[in-house]
Amino acid sequence: MADIPRAASAAAPDPEDRSRFVERFAGELTEAGMQRMAARVFAALFASETASMTSAELSGQLQVSPAAVSGAIRYLTQVSMVSRERDPGTRRERYVLHDELWYETFTSRDQVLVRWEKVLKDGARALGEDSRAGVRAAETAEFFEFLQAELLGLMDRWRAHKDARGG
């Protein structure tokens, strides 16, 4: 998360404030459908100054077992929200948030929408384009096609906004 201005990170937050933020953000992510432990690990990484931590650091901060961290990291790497890096000169792995995490996450959703749209269009034909199920599948495919076009435009506007502010 290298885009954060240096001045924004000048004062170290109170550990209790950081912990409350991590749990609150994790709660929101869980409500949105993310696995609870993955949400807590993600929020802890997000709230760290370097956007990276080792398993031991995550276990200690979250007061959970290394196995719980491992399972969460496995999920977060599968959904491309976190990557693994070796600590130089050690056998320890560091877990790191991707730069431009949200941009990459939403951009990768574009590929999911394309696949869903194709399956739904095929489904509309297979279910019968005049049947209620076929119409429902076709309308959902049309929605995903619309959403994809809007998402691409939105991402372009975000990039322009970010460039305009010097980010």
Q: What local confidence, expressed as pLDDT, does residue 80 receive? A: 82
Which is nearest to 47 in space by CA: 8, 84, 70, 21? 21
Identify the band that residue 20 occupies on the pLDDT scale cut at 50, 70 and 90.
very high
163 pLDDT more than 60: yes
Residue listed under structure tokens 């201005």: 5
The tens digit of pLDDT for each residue in 119-155 reads 999 999 999 999 999 999 999 999 999 988 888 888 8
Q: What is the residue type of 25? A: F
Q: What is the residue type of 137? A: A
Average pLDDT score over residue span 47-74: 95
* CA distances from residue 128 to 12, 95, 131 in whole angstroms, order as listed: 60, 48, 5
Average pLDDT score over residue span 60-85: 93
The answer to whether the CB of 9 falls within 8 A of the CB of 49 is: yes
Average pLDDT score over residue span 97-120: 80
Q: What local confidence, expressed as pLDDT, does residue 4 receive? A: 44
Beta strands in the chain (DSSP E): 52-54, 82-86, 93-97
Write phi, then psi, for 140 (nearest 5 degrees): -65, -40
Q: What is the residue type of 126? A: A
Mean pLDDT of the chain: 87
Identify the band that residue 28 occupies on the pLDDT scale cut at 50, 70 and 90.
very high
Identify the band that residue 33 occupies on the pLDDT scale cut at 50, 70 and 90.
very high
Q: What is the DSSP letter of 87?
A: P
Q: Which helix (H) or strand (E) holds 137?
A: helix 132-164
- In DSSP terms, which residues pair with 95 in a beta bridge? 53, 84
Q: What local confidence, expressed as pLDDT, does residue 152 receive? A: 85
- Neighbouring CB atoms inside 10 A of 148's CB total 18
5 pLDDT more than 60: no
The answer to whether the CB of 109 falls within 8 A of the CB of 152 is: no
Identify the band that residue 117 occupies on the pLDDT scale cut at 50, 70 and 90.
very high
